[in-house]
């Protein structure tokens, strides 16, 4: 320190995690991120999912899930959607990254398939099949599609032993509800 004063150069300063040096050598504090954030009791910053709210509400409405059902969430934002479900009280929800080994343990699968191709959905449905119980429901959220694409989706789902029960269009996409064919009662002829 004494040498730093006599020599005319400043001693190196330790910077915090959000500080950086600008070209003049002084430190600056960077601006906080623009994401919506809230503070927990521990003072940690947790991001909230705004985009997830748009699709979670219609998906949960069509699936008619209870908080006691095991739910697996699949898609690019599966962790964020799972955290949103936990916040809403669905504590048995899991994302594709932490759902464990396939053992037919999930009763509902929520598939967020925005900005992805139907061809890629085939591989995901094949992977997801072993995780679903015999009476499982499958809820798929897609971008707004043309009629031909919706029919291709129905065919892909039916090929895997599911029956499409309901489909709804929303301003930001469409949602499809399917149930395994073993779980759908067969109507008897009168």
Element (H, E) at 123: helix 118-129
Same domain for 31 and 57, yes or no, is no
Same domain for 28 and 57, yes or no, is no
Same domain for 81 and 169, yes or no, is yes
Same domain for 19 and 78, yes or no, is no
pLDDT, residue 117, reads: 87
Regarding pTM above 0.95, the answer is: no
User: 21 CB contacts (<8 Å, ≥6 apart)?
Assistant: 15, 27, 28
Same domain for 38 and 78, yes or no, is no
Q: Does 72 map to a domain?
A: yes
Q: Does 122 map to a domain?
A: yes
For residue 61, give its domain range: 51-180
Closest CA to 28 of 20, 37, 17, 40: 20
**Distances, alpha carbon 189 to alpha carbons 8, 59, 186, in Å:** 97, 33, 9
Q: Does 189 map to a domain?
A: no
pLDDT, residue 150, reads: 85
Same domain for 71 and 145, yes or no, is yes
Per-residue pLDDT of the chain (190 residues; tens, 9 = 90+): 555 455 555 555 555 555 544 444 544 444 444 344 444 444 343 444 455 568 999 999 999 999 999 999 999 899 999 999 999 999 999 999 999 999 999 999 999 998 888 889 999 999 999 999 999 999 999 988 778 888 888 999 999 999 999 998 888 888 999 999 876 665 544 4
What CATH number should be reported for the domain holding residue 131? 3.40.50.150
Q: Does 185 map to a domain?
A: no
**How many CA atoms within 13 Å lie on the side-chain side of 48?**
10
Q: Does 186 map to a domain?
A: no
Same domain for 99 and 144, yes or no, is yes
Same domain for 33 and 57, yes or no, is no
Q: Does 36 map to a domain?
A: yes
* Number of domains present in the structure of the chain: 2
pLDDT, residue 92, reads: 97
């Amino acid at each position: 320190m004494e040498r730093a004063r006599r020599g005319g150069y400043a001693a190196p300063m330790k910077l915090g995690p959000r500080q950086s040096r600008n070209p003049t050598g002084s430190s600056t504090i960077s601006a906080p991120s623009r994401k919506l954030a809230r503070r927990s009791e521990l003072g940690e910053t947790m991001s909230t999912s705004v985009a997830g709210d748009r699709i979670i509400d219609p998906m949960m409405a069509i699936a008619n899930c209870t908080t006691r059902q095991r739910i697996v969430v699949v898609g690019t934002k599966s962790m964020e959607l799972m955290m949103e479900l936990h916040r809403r009280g669905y504590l048995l929800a899991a994302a594709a990254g932490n759902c464990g080994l396939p053992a037919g343990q999930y009763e509902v699968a929520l598939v967020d398939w925005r900005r992805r191709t139907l061809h890629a959905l085939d591989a995901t449905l094949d992977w997801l099949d072993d995780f679903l119980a015999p009476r499982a429901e499958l809820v798929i959220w897609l971008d707004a599609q043309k009629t031909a694409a919706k029919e291709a989706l129905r065919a892909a789902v039916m090929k895997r032993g599911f029956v499409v029960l309901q489909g709804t269009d929303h301003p930001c996409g469409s949602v499809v509800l399917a149930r395994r064919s073993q779980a759908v009662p067969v109507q008897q002829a009168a």
